[in-house]
C-alpha cells in the first residue's frame, strides 16, 4: 500500500484512507493504515526501533477519506482533547439513494449499537443505553434519483452518518448493511471524510485539510 500524505508537521500526520482498508489491525490480520503509516515514518526519518503513532479517530472500513494521526505524545494529548470536546470540524461527502425532502437540515437521533451484529439501531427520543447523535447536512446536487450531500458531523458515534441517513430514507449508495443499493465497488460505500479543521499541537492556529470526493460518484 502506498501512503498518500495530505498534511504533516512535527506532531501530526494526515493521510488518505482508501475504502476497504482498516485504520487499525483486527482479528482478520489484514493490512491496516496505522502499520503502513508507521513504516512510512520509519523509512522517511530513518528511525531505529518502534515508531510512536497515536490513533486519534477512526473511519469505518468501507469509508474513504482523511485520517489524522499523532507523531508525538504532545500531538496525541492536544488533539485527543479536541476530539473529545467535539471542537474539531469534521466534514464528509456522501452519495445517497433518494433526495432528502429538505435541502439542508439538522438531524438529532439516539443510537444504540448491537455489538454482536455490528449494527446501530436509531431512536427519535432518549433511550436507555443510546448515545445522542447530531449532524447537519446540505444537498450539493442531485441527479438520477440520487443526491450528493455535504455533512458536518457534530458528534462522532459509530455508524452515525450511515444510520441517520437511512432513517430519513436516504441510505448511502453501496451501504447494503443500512439499506443502500449495491454498486460496482463491493468493498466501498459512497461516504468520504473530505475535510478536517483543528488547532495545531503547538498553539491556537487552526489548520484545515480538505480533499475532493471520488470523481466516480458523479
Residues marked as catalytic: 60
Range 49-55, long-range pairs (CB < 8 A, 24+ positions): 54/79, 54/80, 55/23, 55/24
The residues, any chain, with a CB within 8 Å of residue 19's CB and separated by 6 or more, are 61, 62, 63, 64, 185, 187, 188, 189
Q: How many CB atoms lie within 10 A of CB 141?
A: 9
CA distance 101 to 110: 21
Exposure string of 22-38, with b = 16+ CB inside 10 Å and e = fewer, is bbeeeeeeeebbbebbb
- How far is residue 162's CA from residue 81's CA, in Å, rounded to a whole number? 25
Amino acid at each position: 500500500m502506498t501512503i498518500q500524505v495530505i498534511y504533516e508537521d512535527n506532531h501530526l500526520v494526515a493521510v488518505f484512507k482508501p475504502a476497504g482498508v482498516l485504520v487499525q489491525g483486527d482479528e482478520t490480520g489484514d493490512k491496516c493504515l496505522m502499520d503502513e503509516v508507521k513504516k512510512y515514518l520509519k523509512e522517511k526519518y530513518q528511525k531505529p526501533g518502534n515508531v510512536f503513532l497515536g490513533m486519534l479517530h477512526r473511519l469505518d472500513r468501507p469509508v474513504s477519506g482523511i485520517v489524522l494521526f499523532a507523531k508525538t505524545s504532545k500531538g496525541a494529548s492536544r488533539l485527543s482533547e479536541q476530539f473529545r470536546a467535539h471542537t474539531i470540524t469534521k466534514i464528509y461527502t456522501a452519495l445517497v439513494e433518494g433526495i432528502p425532502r429538505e435541502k439542508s437540515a439538522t438531524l438529532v437521533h439516539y443510537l444504540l449499537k448491537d455489538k454482536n451484529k455490528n449494527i446501530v439501531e436509531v431512536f427519535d427520543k432518549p433511550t436507555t443505553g443510546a448515545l445522542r447523535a447530531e449532524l447537519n447536512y446540505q444537498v450539493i446536487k442531485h441527479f438520477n434519483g440520487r443526491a450528493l450531500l455535504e455533512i458536518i458531523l457534530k458528534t462522532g458515534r459509530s455508524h452515525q452518518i450511515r444510520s441517520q441517513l437511512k432513517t430519513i430514507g436516504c441510505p448511502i449508495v453501496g451501504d447494503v448493511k443500512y439499506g443502500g443499493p449495491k454498486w460496482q465497488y463491493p468493498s466501498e460505500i459512497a461516504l468520504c471524510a473530505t475535510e478536517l479543521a483543528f488547532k495545531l499541537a503547538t498553539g491556537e492556529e487552526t489548520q484545515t485539510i480538505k480533499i475532493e470526493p471520488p470523481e466516480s460518484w458523479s
